[in-house]
Amino acid sequence: MTTERAPQGKSPEVHGIFQKIAGYYDRMNFVMTLGRHARWCREVAVRAAPPSGGRLLDLATGTGVIALEAARRYPGVSVTGADFAEQMLERAKVKPGAEAVRWEHADAARLPFENESFDAITEGYLLRNVDDLDGVLREQHRVLKPGGRVVILETCPPSGPIKPVVDWGMRTVVPLLGQVVARDRSSYTYLESSTRAFESPQQVADLLRRIGFHDIGWHTRFFGTNVILWATRS
């Protein structure tokens, strides 16, 4: 499990949650994934593979972990990190290497970019927090160039034989960690409930295919509670 990026298109109350967690976002990510979060973000950046001289958009950039990794890995690529939560962006802008990224305040449901603007799109913990999943993915399809790749890091509901154990852990441990580490139980109660209510990787893949993506694949991580999913615009 992990904490998440700012919600796009959700109610002001939910948006407020993500403004509030910005100060301890990175610390909670580390604790809740037992240190795996940074590795997953590196994998997202690697799978995006934008061409030299191209443009990469990191949506729901949060504190900029994926965007900064992409900027380090691809110095010849123009990297834009966009998020709906101003407090998240303020944290990202003061990190080492932040000057290599263009930071944008933007709503993923209404991206302020021209059609076919980017060679690759990355995102972390965005989709579970939007009102219109289909519309948000269509926006990404719109601003992505033909042949460009989208790479998604997201939580997913547990499944399989260990589902009851993982469900119990999410209901019990996640809010408790929020209370102990961040003094914020309510925000992490939202985290676990939104994860368990979200689509499966197969359902997200089916939606991507209907929108016009192909070469779709995914790998689950951390007892099936996180997934890295990728697709290419036809």
Q: 156-195: per-residue pLDDT in tens?
A: 887 777 777 777 767 777 777 777 777 777 777 776 677 7
Task: Tell me the one-letter amino acid at 132.
Answer: D
Task: Tell me the one-letter amino acid at 185.
Answer: R
Task: With respect to residue 6, please indicate whether it lies within any of the assigned structural domains.
Answer: no
Q: In DSSP terms, which residues pair with 101 in a beta bridge?
A: 79
Residue ranges making up the domain that contains 160: 12-233
Q: In what order do the strands lie in the sheet with 226-233?
A: 101-105, 78-83, 55-59, 118-124, 144-155, 226-233, 213-221
Parallel, antiparallel or unpaired: strands 144-155 and 213-221: unpaired
Task: With respect to residue 25, please indicate whether it lies within any of the assigned structural domains.
Answer: yes
Is 108 one of the annotated binding-site residues?
yes
Task: With respect to residue 116, please indicate whether it lies within any of the assigned structural domains.
Answer: yes
3-state helix, strand, coil in the chain (%, to 5): 45, 25, 30
Domain count, the chain: 1
What token pair was written down for 95?
């990190």
Task: With respect to residue 160, please indicate whether it lies within any of the assigned structural domains.
Answer: yes
Average pLDDT over residues 90-96: 98
Q: Is 11 helix (H, G, I), strand (E, B) or coil?
A: coil
Is 63 one of the annotated binding-site residues?
yes
Task: With respect to residue 3, please indicate whether it lies within any of the assigned structural domains.
Answer: no
Task: With respect to residue 185, please indicate whether it lies within any of the assigned structural domains.
Answer: yes
Could you tell me where the DSSP H helices lie in 37-162? Answer: 37-48, 65-73, 86-93, 133-143
Give dist(CA 26, CA 105) in Å, integer. 19
What token pair was written down for 140?
């990404």
Q: CATH no. for residue 134?
A: 3.40.50.150
pLDDT recorded at residue 8: 47
Q: With cut-offs at 50, 70 and 90, classify the pLDDT of residue 9.
A: very low
pLDDT recorded at residue 196: 67
Task: With respect to residue 1, please indicate whether it lies within any of the assigned structural domains.
Answer: no
pLDDT recorded at residue 10: 52
Residue 3 has pLDDT above 50, yes or no: no
Residue with tokens 């407020």: 16
Q: CB-hemisphere CA count at 13 Å for 148?
A: 21
In this structure, which long-range contacts are made by residues 192-199, counting pairs with CB atoms below 8 Å and at least 24 apart in sequence?
192/1, 194/128, 194/129, 195/1, 195/128, 195/155, 195/156, 195/157, 195/170, 195/225, 196/157, 196/158, 196/167, 196/170, 197/157, 198/127, 198/128, 198/154, 198/155, 198/156, 198/157, 199/127, 199/133, 199/156
Q: 45-78: per-residue pLDDT in tens?
A: 999 999 999 999 999 999 999 999 999 999 999 9
Task: With respect to residue 36, please indicate whether it lies within any of the assigned structural domains.
Answer: yes
Is 184 one of the annotated binding-site residues?
no
